[in-house]
Amino acid sequence: MADPYFFGYGSLVNRATHDYPDIHRATIGGWRRVWHSLAHRDVAILSVEPAKGQIDGLIAAVPGQDWAALDQREIQYARHPAPDVIHSAPGDISAQIYVVEPANIAATAKHPILLSYLDVVLQGFLREFGVPGAERFFDTTAGWDRPILDDRDKPIYPRHQMLDTEERLFVDLCLSRLSAVVVQR
C-alpha cells in the first residue's frame, strides 16, 4: 500500500519545521484557513473550514503510515480525509488534513496570533509560492480581527524560524495593510 499524505496549509508549508522528504506543492478546493481560539489555550491557532474557493499548501508522504509524530505535533487537531487535492506527486494519492474540531473552539474569545507562528507560516509560503502565494495566504484566511502578539525577540512558538530582512519586511507590510493591531509581549 502506498504511503498516505498530509495536506499542510500553515506551518507545515515551511519545510524547516519538519523532516518529511517526499513533498509536493498542492492546492485543495472547498476549504479556507481561519484563525481560531481554543478554550484551553491563550493564543490563536490556524485551522481550516469548509468554504468556496481553494487554498495552497504542501502535501508530504507519511512513511509507513506512521502518523504518531505528526498527530502529536498537531494534537489540537483531528485528521480528516482531504479529497480534491490538486498536486504534482506521481500517481494517485490519499491525503489527510488536520482540522480543529468545532467542540474545541472558543467562539467568543479573540486570542492573539503569535507573530513567531505567523512568521513561520509566511516564510514557508514565500519560499514555496513567492510573494503572490504569500499574499493569497492572507486573502484566503479569515479571522484577522484579533491582535498579533509580537514575540519575535522571545519566540513562544516552538518551531520558530529566523526570517531574513526581506521576509520580515514582507510580513510587517502585510500586517500593516490589514490594519492589524500588533501588541508587544
Q: What is the CATH number of the domain that holds 67?
A: 3.10.490.10
Coil/strand/helix, residue 106: coil
Burial 35-62 (b: 16+ CB within 10 A, else e): bbbbeeeebbbbbbbeeeebbbbbbbbb
**Beta pairing, strands 113-114 & 148-150:** parallel
Q: Rounded to the nearest 5°, which phi and psi values hold at 164?
A: -80, 175
Q: Which three cell numbers stand for residue 40?
A: 484551553
Question: Nearest-CA neighbor of 85 among 30, 157, 145, 124?
Answer: 30
Work out how many domains the chain is built from and give that number: 1
Predicted local confidence at residue 158, as pLDDT: 94
Range of the domain at 79: 5-184
pTM tops 0.85: yes
Q: What is the full per-residue pLDDT of the chain (185 aa) written as tens digits? A: 689 999 999 999 999 999 998 999 999 999 999 999 998 889 999 999 999 999 999 999 999 899 999 999 898 899 999 988 999 888 888 899 999 988 889 988 899 999 999 999 999 999 999 999 999 999 999 999 999 999 999 999 999 999 999 999 999 999 999 999 999 98
Tell me how far apart the alpha carbons of residues 145 and 184 are, in angstroms, rounded to a whole number: 17
Q: Which three cell numbers stand for residue 123?
A: 516564510
Predicted local confidence at residue 1, as pLDDT: 61
Say which residue the cell 508587544 belongs to: 184
Say which residue the cell 513567492 belongs to: 130
Question: Nearest-CA neighbor of 95 among 26, 13, 30, 20?
Answer: 26
Q: Which three cell numbers stand for residue 132?
A: 503572490
Predicted local confidence at residue 21, as pLDDT: 86
Predicted local confidence at residue 41, as pLDDT: 87
